[in-house]
Amino acid sequence: MNGIIYQNSVIEDNGTTYFLVKDEAGGAKYLAVKGDTNGFEGDFDENGILHSPLTSSNASNLRSRLPWLRPVSLGLDISFGFGDRLGLATPGHIRAVRQTGIAPVFAQQSVRENLRTGRTPQEVLDDAMWGVFQEGWRGKWGADADHLKTPEDIKPFVRAGYTFFTIDPGDLVANISIEETKTGLMTNTGRVPWESFVITQNDLYKIYLNKTFHLEGFELVYDEETLLRALLKYGQAIAHTSLMYNQLLGLMGQKAFDLELSLDETASPTSIYEHFFVASELARLGIKCISLAPRYIGKFEKGVDYIGDSGEFESEIKLHAKVLRYFGNYKLSLHSGSDKFSIYPFISRHTRGKLHIKTAGTSYLEALRVVAEKDPAFFREILAFSQEKYRTDRASYFVSAEIDKMAPPDGIKDSDLSSYLDQFDAREILHVTFGSVLGKWGERLKSILREHEEFYYSSLEKHFNRHLEPFHEMAVHTND
């Protein structure tokens, strides 16, 4: 056998041995099977070992035999989502999360990202699975169908075997003016989808109006205006979440899954009263939501640290965590969660492990760091092209980078090009233009990463060690 065996992948199960091999000649990886080869596609070598390409069919057959290669529900465990837009990063993610006690989501991609990368939900899950196999990961792991907006969005993720479904009704969250009067609010209650709430307005008032809810020393009391604001702002979103949840129940049958509600990509922050109202209504409607992502105060832009007053954020997250513990049956989720190093300690401390962190493009940026180090000329091409595409590609993201604030690359030595990956404006510009770059140079970029995969894995491990370290102690304490 002319190839490099990934030793962590070697496993003997029921008399059959499986392992992953990297061909020395072409660099392609394949699954080697010795023993029961029934159902696997490929060719036998002179030693009777089947060389199976990393196809979806072979991935499915391997999952049926080795159950730890299948994603599962993670429940209330502290968890971390590793988005991987290239399908090559999972081994690096595993090296970072191993021994932390944090439950990983290795397959995570949104419908929007799939469109931009040209990948299918099945390809995303299979790529993550091969990384799990390569590194010999035996722990549980999840697969997140991110930012689902319509019932039709759900189906291909269910077919592929996903276990975590993030519902995004952000387009239905109303932007209520702070100048709107109570009288104006009352005239709009006819827009509330009361049939989905299976309750009348008077009955809703009986639940909340002028009632005191005790949250660990904080007393939450709804006057009529506060209640109406929460109802009108999130009523349509709650109704849509109910529709999506029931669709999932029908598609998943008896299979356990995690539901997350994403309210983060909206115009205004989610107040404590609004958070409480949403969580309370989800519970009343029987919607089992394992994770909730409010729109926090401040700015959570892509691939950069938190923008805002960190002291004010800590004051708010304390109250959000009190709401969380009042209900006690879900986690707080932080979206656009990569690189928010200044506020990680606050989130870890106040949520006490009832937490999910979601990252995506930061792994892509680490891939570009490899390119900057190993092929500076190509990185310069990517940098120029990303600047050209930024004004268009930024449209669907909350980012504030400005091209004029980037240092001209002509004045930067090749050995210093990776410094662009540490600069605010460059990070955001490179982050949001990933779809355009992959559409033009996807295979070229992946070829460099495959050639220097250990360098890529070590870069990812170092990068995510910094992300995960603030949550280690809480993860261990929670699991104990």
| 260 noted as active-site residue | yes
Q: Which residues pair with 258 in a beta bridge?
A: 164
Closest CA to 275 of 342, 330, 206: 330
Query: Which residues of the chain carry a pLDDT beneath 70?
Result: 1, 476-480
Residues 6+ positions from 373 with CB-CB distance below 8 Å:
417, 418, 455
User: What is the pLDDT, as a whole number, of residue 244?
Assistant: 98
User: What is the pLDDT, as a whole number, of residue 121?
Assistant: 98
Question: How many helical (H) and strand (E) elements, i.e. helices and strands, does the chain have?
Answer: 18, 15
Residues 6+ positions from 181 with CB-CB distance below 8 Å:
none
Instruction: Choose, from 84, 127, 135, 146, the residue flagged as catalytic.
Output: 146
Work out the percent of the chain whose per-residue pLDDT is above 70: 99
User: What is the pLDDT, as a whole number, of residue 442?
Assistant: 97
Q: Which residues pair with 355 in a beta bridge?
A: 332
Amino acid at 93: H
| 314 noted as active-site residue | no
Distances (CA, A) of 225 to 119, 189, 207, 215: 46, 12, 15, 21
Structure tokens at 295: 């729109």
User: What is the pLDDT, as a whole number, of residue 135?
Assistant: 98
Closest CA to 131 of 165, 98, 164, 166: 98
251-273 pLDDT tens trace:
999 999 999 999 998 989 999 99
Instruction: Choose, from 260, 316, 393, 425, the residue flagged as catalytic.
Output: 260
Q: Domains of the chain by range and CATH?
A: 3-65 (no CATH), 68-173+222-361+467-479 (3.20.20.70), 365-462 (no CATH)
DSSP H helices in 5-150: 56-65, 90-97, 111-117, 121-135
CB 165 within 8 A of CB 257: yes
Kind and range of the H or E element at 262? strand 258-262
Burial 272-297 (b: 16+ CB within 10 A, else e): bbbbbbbbbbbeebebebbbbbbbbb
